Amino acid sequence: MASSLSGVAVGSTPPRAVGSSSAGTGFSTLMDYVGKGGINAGDDLVVLLYHLQYACKRIAALVASPFNSSIIGQSSVPAAAGTGGSGRDAPKPLDIVSNEIILSSLRNSGKVAVMASEEDDTPIWINDEGKFVVVTDPLDGSRNIDASIPTGTIFGVYNRLVELDHLPTEEKAQLNSLQSGTRLVAAGYVLYSSATIICTSIGSGTHAFTLDHSTGDFILTHPNIKIPPRGQIYSVNDARYFDWPEGLRKYIDTVRQGKGKYPKKYSARYICSLVADLHRTLLYGGVAMNPRDHLRLVYEANPLSFLVEQAGGKGSDGKNRILSIQPVKLHQRLPLFLGSLEDMEELESYGDVQQKVNPGYEI
Ligand SMILES: O=P(O)(O)OC[C@H]1O[C@](O)(COP(=O)(O)O)[C@@H](O)[C@@H]1O
């Protein structure tokens, strides 16, 4: 493990485990968890996760920095040539900087063949020898950033499909990035909020680690997260109520009156920042919904569904299990529902919960 990290070129020494292990799990920091105490992730994945968490620390510092005001004050920069047609929003400067930070960390890791990002039209081929494919939304929820509302990074990791190695670069980059979510080997999000939290899974439960700013370590604070089978919270942009289908309206009307299968009146919470809304849902239970075709399958829905399933919950587009949907294009959008098993089953029993009417909303 030490030797596998010796070549890291990130300008900082690897984090050191501090204190005793948390909650009797035998590991206390993120690097302990993936490296030795928690699970045998394999040296290559350890190195990759080391570089990813380092990138996210840099993004955490960036979004919290007072020196961003000159960047943050700008409105969205015009879409780069070529973004037209992908249906993506014009990126903002911090999205772009975050994207560059992640790309440079992935390059430095030496472990990544392809990065597919929300910020790039097409996947970027990095290294023929890289074992992994990384899909990412480098800074989700950035429309909130001017008001210091939480944002997040999302990532998913696949193995490189060696059987595609003979194909032209562009083609193999694309096909490697369009793997079904069932093939994820790791996924995670990083929440930039009052605390910076990395929540990750390599297929053996979902665990969250909180950044200790005094040491730079991510400390295990939420081992083996189990989403409650029932919550009492629904999370949705309900200004769209009149564009919703009948089934979704009925579901929300029912649970907010306490007339659902769980006879409690539900509360509403909506941050409009996917990572933050999901983080709360993982801890408190309930359902986080984006019923219109807005969120992206490859680098948002799949990694987050993987984490939710690993925590005992469910991720669906309202009809189908997210992880089983075969992506056909990189920036493919779909409705997304993530949450507690029983709440999700009740929601889906209402039939039409996907919002087909999508007039486009200004904010
Ligand atoms: O506008 P809606 O439908 O409420 O969607 C909000 C969702 O869009 C996001 O902001 C992502 O969309 P963008 O990438 O366009 O910002 C999520 O963070 C949030 O959950």
Any atom of ligand 1 within 6 Å of the Cβ of 226: no
Q: What is the CATH number of the domain that holds 327?
A: 3.40.190.80
Q: Are residues 217 and 72 in the same domain?
A: yes
Which pLDDT score, from 0 to 100, does residue 81 have? 42
Q: Are residues 49 and 25 in the same domain?
A: yes
Which pLDDT score, from 0 to 100, does residue 13 have? 34
pLDDT at residue 66 greater than cutoff 50:
yes
Q: Are residues 208 and 183 in the same domain?
A: yes
Question: Which residue puts its alpha carbon closest to atom 16 of ligand 1?
Answer: 141
- Asked if residue 180 belongs to a domain, the reply is yes
Q: Are residues 263 and 337 in the same domain?
A: yes
Q: What is the CATH number of the domain that holds 151?
A: 3.30.540.10
- Domain coverage including residue 205: 20-222
Q: What is the mean pLDDT of the chain?
A: 88
- Asked if residue 192 belongs to a domain, the reply is yes
Any atom of ligand 1 within 6 Å of the Cβ of 273: yes
Q: Mind listing the pLDDT tens digit for each residue in 245-260? A: 999 999 999 999 999 9
Which pLDDT score, from 0 to 100, does residue 144 have? 85
Tally of structural domains, the chain: 2
Cα-based distances in Å from 30 to 82, 300, 313: 38, 22, 23
Question: Which residue puts its alpha carbon closest to atom 11 of ligand 1?
Answer: 141
First to last CA, the chain: 47
Q: How far away, in angstroms, is 338 Cα from ligand 1 center?
A: 14
- Asked if residue 103 belongs to a domain, the reply is yes
Catalytic residue list contains 137: yes
pLDDT at residue 181 greater than cutoff 90:
yes
Any atom of ligand 1 within 6 Å of the Cβ of 143: yes
- Asked if residue 6 belongs to a domain, the reply is no
The residue-averaged pLDDT of 278-303 equals 98
Last residue of a domain, one of 187, 222, 257: 222
Q: Are residues 277 and 188 in the same domain?
A: no
Q: 353 or 73: which carries more pLDDT confidence?
A: 353
Q: Which long-range contacts (CB under 8 A, 24 or more apart) does 222-227 make?
A: 222/197, 222/283, 223/22, 223/23, 223/25, 224/25, 225/199, 225/282, 225/283, 225/311, 226/311, 226/312, 227/281, 227/282, 227/283, 227/285, 227/308, 227/311, 227/312, 227/313, 227/339, 227/340, 227/341
Q: Are residues 120 and 25 in the same domain?
A: yes
Secondary structure class of 356 (helix, strand, coil): coil
Q: Are residues 213 and 283 in the same domain?
A: no
Last residue of a domain, one of 162, 195, 222: 222
Q: Are 30 and 220 within 8 A, CB to CB?
A: yes
Q: Mind listing the pLDDT tens digit for each residue in 154-180? A: 999 999 999 999 999 999 999 999 999
- Asked if residue 354 belongs to a domain, the reply is no
Q: Are residues 254 and 337 in the same domain?
A: yes
The residue-averaged pLDDT of 318-336 equals 98
Q: Mind listing the pLDDT tens digit for each residue in 293-304? A: 999 999 999 999
Which pLDDT score, from 0 to 100, does residue 145 have? 87
Secondary structure class of 291 (helix, strand, coil): strand
> pLDDT band at residue 82, thresholds of 50, 70 and 90?
very low
Which pLDDT score, from 0 to 100, does residue 71 have? 55
Catalytic residue list contains 89: yes
Q: Mind listing the pLDDT tens digit for each residue in 183-217? A: 999 999 999 999 999 999 999 999 999 999 999 99
Question: Which residue of the set 32, 49, 118, 178 is catalytic?
Answer: 118
Cα-based distances in Å from 43 to 6, 95, 102, 244: 12, 30, 20, 47
pLDDT at residue 332 greater than cutoff 80:
yes
Catalytic residue list contains 300: yes
Which pLDDT score, from 0 to 100, does residue 142 have? 86
- Asked if residue 12 belongs to a domain, the reply is no
Any atom of ligand 1 within 6 Å of the Cβ of 274: yes
Which pLDDT score, from 0 to 100, does residue 67 have? 79
Q: How far away, in angstroms, is 3 Cα from ligand 1 center?
A: 41
Catalytic residue list contains 140: yes
pLDDT at residue 7 greater than cutoff 60:
no
Helix, strand, coil percentages in the chain from 3-state DSSP, rounded to 5: 35, 20, 40
Q: Are residues 68 and 33 in the same domain?
A: yes
- Asked if residue 244 belongs to a domain, the reply is yes
> pLDDT band at residue 40, thresholds of 50, 70 and 90?
low
The residue-averaged pLDDT of 36-61 equals 87
Within 10 angstroms of residue 258's Cβ, the number of other Cβ atoms is 12
The residue-averaged pLDDT of 121-148 equals 95
Q: Mind listing the pLDDT tens digit for each residue in 209-246? A: 999 999 999 999 999 999 999 999 999 999 999 999 99
Task: Give the DSSP H or E segment for 112.
Answer: strand 112-117
Any atom of ligand 1 within 6 Å of the Cβ of 272: yes
Which pLDDT score, from 0 to 100, does residue 6 have? 33
Any atom of ligand 1 within 6 Å of the Cβ of 88: no
In a mutational test of the pocket of ligand 1, which residue from 295, 357, 361 has the highest number of ligand atoms less than 8 Å from its CB?
A: 295
- Asked if residue 8 belongs to a domain, the reply is no
Which pLDDT score, from 0 to 100, does residue 116 have? 98
Question: Which residue puts its alpha carbon closest to atom 9 of ligand 1?
Answer: 141
Q: How far away, in angstroms, is 263 Cα from ligand 1 center?
A: 30
Question: Which residue of the set 32, 140, 343, 346 is catalytic?
Answer: 140
Nearest to 193 by CA among 142, 147, 235, 151: 151
Any atom of ligand 1 within 6 Å of the Cβ of 62: no
Q: Are residues 182 and 250 in the same domain?
A: no
Q: What percent of the chain has pLDDT over 90?
A: 78
Catalytic residue list contains 119: yes
Q: How far away, in angstroms, is 274 Cα from ligand 1 center?
A: 7
pLDDT at residue 38 greater than cutoff 70:
no
> pLDDT band at residue 93, thresholds of 50, 70 and 90?
confident
Catalytic residue list contains 118: yes
Last residue of a domain, one of 180, 200, 222: 222
Q: Are residues 263 and 295 in the same domain?
A: yes
Q: Are residues 204 and 283 in the same domain?
A: no
pLDDT at residue 317 greater than cutoff 90:
yes
In a mutational test of the pocket of ligand 1, which residue from 290, 304, 355 has the highest number of ligand atoms less than 8 Å from its CB?
A: 290
Any atom of ligand 1 within 6 Å of the Cβ of 89: yes
Show the tokens assigned to 134: 């990384």
